[in-house]
Amino acid sequence: MASVRSAKLAVRGDCWSAAKMISWHTPYNRLLHLSLFFAVLPWLYSYFNEQHRIQSYSVEQALMISWDKIITQPTILFRRAVIGINCNVDLVVSGTGLLERMNATSHKRDDHQVLNNVDDLYEAFAYFFSRGAAAERHTSDEKTFQTLVQTAGESRQRPHYYIGGNAALMAEKIATAFPRTTAYLVGPIGPRSQALLHPSIVRTNSTLIVKDEVHVIMEYKQGEILGEYVAPASSRFITSHDQYSGSSVVIEMFFKAIAQFNPDIIILSGVHLLQNQNREMRMEKLRLIKRNLMQVNRNTPIHLELGSIGDADHVAEVLNRIVPHVDSLGLNEQELAFFSHVANGPYTDLYPIAPGAVHVHKVVEMLYWLLTTYGHDKSDPESKNYKYKLSRIHFHSLTFHLMVYRGTDWSNLAAALAAGAKVAGRQACQISGGDMNTDNLELRSSMSVLLDKEVEKSYNFEPQKPIASWMRKDVVFIFTPVLVCKFPTKTVGVDDAISATGLIYSQFYRFERSCYGSFNLSLERFNVAEIMQSSTLSLLWREDSRCRTHICLRINRTVVMRRLWYPAVIAQRGVRQRRSPAAKPVDWLQESATYVDAHTAVVDPFTSSPYPEKDVLEILKNADAKSLSEHRKRMIEKHKKRKLTQLNFDHIPIEEQIVVLFPGQGAQHVGMGSKSMDCPEASKLYDEASEILGYDLKKLCLEALRLVDARAKAMHECNQRISSGMLTVRVSAISRLDEAMADARNLAKEKGELALCEVSNYLFCGAKVVGASATCLQFLEDNQERYAFHVVKRLPVSGAFHTRLMDGAIEPMRKALKDSKVWVIVCMKYFNVVDVRGRAESSHQLKTRFSSGVTLMAPRVNVYSNYTGKVYDRKLAEIRNSIVKQIASPVKWEQILQLLYRKHQDYKFPTYMEVGPGRQLGAMLLQVSKKAYKHYENVAA
């Protein structure tokens, strides 16, 4: 027992000593705890500080940072790229300004496959302009195209010259953003193209041409107005008259360069340009391309970059002959929808698509159909798809991007998708690489998106997790939203930059097992470290001893080749790119660059030039002084003309400005404004005015102004011709309202009635008012599902106002405007009898002016016309003409709203004040911008 007791005491003593060691008051433990505390404190500070910093970012900045974390360099980099076959000079101008300069007008909009004259150009441009969709069409008449180029090149159009063509643009992006990859460009290169191309791009002399091929890029911005149409998104329309890009010589030189240059990747573009040739010639060249594609080494990936195609037959030929024999495909929503439309894929009725209007799950369905129908399928060696190569599709639209792949040949595709998405908005806004400013970028995606109906996959947006991926059978999908540039400076070339960036960040390797159990892999482009880091090679190294021998032999050959061959190549490349600081401008730069090129490169902040600024300035100094002085004179005249057209209130802060909105006659009623008579001062003012005028002004204002009464009587007479009315409709990208109205007019003609059915009011984007006869209105209501639009309601009006039915009211209105008494009433009603100096006139002065007649005076504020959708001209004759013609012309309220919305500065808006009963105009402003609507007020009459 004593021994047990002693043992217990010993244990108890040990526990006590241990407790003393753990005790905080022990000097040793106190120091240990303090060191632990001071070690944890910085970590906690950095952690919570990082969380606070992340929360302080905007959604756009957080999205950019998340992409940067995802973007990783590929283990196996493409070192050499051969790119062809189209190259040209892009002449970038404002599309609406160019059409206005060429006096192009038409009442139709139609998708012409080929443009034969200026009217065809206007109709095709208006067709895609109203949808905000990019398109490219060929101009068949050389004389018409030369006139177009000459007009676009005038200084008043502010033309900009850039390198153009899908192949050249992708080569340019690779050369500027990926210096470790050498780009070899094959295409028709003229003098100006030679000057605009990046110096590091390797070119072939066999495809040099004397005169550049020019593409006219007619760009437009969101909210821009063309006649009665408003652009829902920023985009461009391209027209050309190429002679060399689709020639057999260029195609043959392209595949010859592949054999000589031994590239790691091949990029083919410009196939869409073949649609401009006759069928026999086109088929021969497609067969030539297909034959050469099938002869390319299977270990070298081939990427096909599509362009806008309008010919359905050519789309079918490309889809069946070219697409299955490339490894990768890059396309946008227009090209994908046209593929599905022509080949009877899913959602065939979506073409043409408005940017941002297509649902993700519909795109996913079409991409799955495209890859499974025309892509490689290794599961069935007996099927035709077993011999196909397509295994990767990079889809890009305005608001989201998708990467789709099948098999194991491609990897690092999430990084490739993020890199392409990041470059999209930055390229359109011309934001430099290190600039984190995202004020000009915005996210146009809902917080929850249905990605795939088949597997019930959805995506809830989180800025820290911008990538979503899933599988449908053996097909992998990767999705990311995209930041959209609010005010793009240049839209052409964005698709090519996205595809080129995503392609270089992708990784490709393909193994083919031979009868000896070895694997063939083109290793010449990899260094040894990159080879051994490959997960696939590591797996083979562990599992197959025969492969180890084969891989070692290939690595040894790679090392020997690099030691013997690479120093010579690097030296040669250095000689080609090296340039003496004291060297003079090269002759071909002096001969090919013009004053416009040099001026653009020096003055335009969004133009990048790969050549020394000193050389370009030297060319600028040699410009003709006379041309410079003429340019200044034209700019001064243009400024004076603009000054006469609009009044400038920029000296007033934008938040202190007021925009007054007046509703139409439909919102008015007899007796409105009667509450103002409760004010003694207002009643006294009306009594004094009635005494001076000799009639009861109060009664006249409460019942109807004489001018309004004259207009109403004239319009009533027009309404007696036929029973008519108006209805409000909602349209979308797939709506065919124009076709429905045309069919309604044909029905009225068959019944022997007046064929009246046209848009009478443009309310806001997607909402219109149609004025038509009773027969046409009934036809529209009965067939709204057939033409994919929605009838909201019939308006409680007695006729089709603001249509050609009101033509008979124009002359009575014109006559009424000549009555000076009418103008006195108008001035008293709307201007409170205030003269141009802003002082109230006395009774004697008013009597004098009344007896001598009242002259219509230019407005002292900017007044927007319903007839033109723009600010009234300060010429009095133009004002009278617009007031008269608006009776029989559609109300362009949507166009006016877009101009009013643009008045904001850094999201500081003026006050929008609606004067009159109801809040109809405010509701329309809400449809345009929620931010602008926050500054809306209503003043009830």
Q: How far is the C-alpha of 187 from the C-alpha of 206, rounded, in Å? A: 9
Q: What does the alpha-carbon distance between residue 856 and residue 809 come to, in Å, rounded to a whole number?
A: 21
- Please provide the size of the chain in residues: 941
Cα–Cα dist 544/714, whole Å: 94
CA–CA distance, 39 with 357 (Å, rounded to integer): 54
Both structure tokens of 3: 């021994």
Which residues have C-beta within 8 Å of that of residue 382, sequence separation ≥ 6? none
Please provide residue 441's backbone torsions phi and psi, each rounded to the nearest 5 degrees: -115, 150
Query: Among residues 369, 368, 453, 377, which one has the least CA distance to residue 404?
Result: 368
Q: Is 496 an annotated catalytic residue?
A: yes
**Could you identify the residue written with the tokens 């005010």?**
487
Interatomic CA distance for residues 722 and 496, integer angstroms? 55
Is 783 in contact with 749 (CB distance < 8 Å)? no
157 to 148, 153, 638: CA distances (angstroms): 12, 7, 12
Closest C-alpha to 328, from 406, 271, 415, 419: 406
Two structure tokens written together for 624: 């003709």
227 — alpha (psi -120 to 50), left (phi > 0) or beta? Answer: left
Helix, strand, or coil here: 538?
A: helix
The DSSP bridge partners found for residue 913 are: 660, 937
Asked if residues 141 and 163 have their Cβ atoms less than 8 Å apart, the reply is: no
Catalytic entry in 212, 377, 496, 615? 496
- Continuous segment of H or E residues that includes residue 476: strand 475-481
Residues paired with 483 in a beta bridge: 443
* Residue 418, φ and ψ in degrees, nearest 5: -65, -40
The C-alpha atoms of residue 63 and residue 73 are separated, in whole angstroms, by 19
Question: By C-alpha distance, which of 398, 59, 223 is closest to 904?
Answer: 223
Beta strand 214-220 with 235-240: parallel, antiparallel or unpaired?
antiparallel
Q: What is the DSSP string of 400-442?
A: EEEEEEESSSEE-HHHHHHHHHHHHHHHHHT--TT----TTEE
DSSP secondary structure, 643-673, as one string:
HHHS---TTS-GGG-EEEE---GGG--TTTT
Rounded Cα–Cα distance for residues 114 and 91 (Å): 20
Q: Return the beta strands (E) in 9-113 as ranges.
A: 80-84, 88-94
In 3D space, the residue among 250, 253, 254, 316 whose CA is nearest the CA of residue 283 turns out to be 316
Tell whether the torsion through CA atoms of 887, 888, 890 and 896 is positive or negative: negative
Question: Backbone phi, then psi, for 160, in 5-degree steps?
Answer: -130, 135
Please calculate the CA angle 549-554-557 and round it to the nearest 5 degrees.
125
What residues form DSSP beta bridges with 507? 411
Active site residues: 496
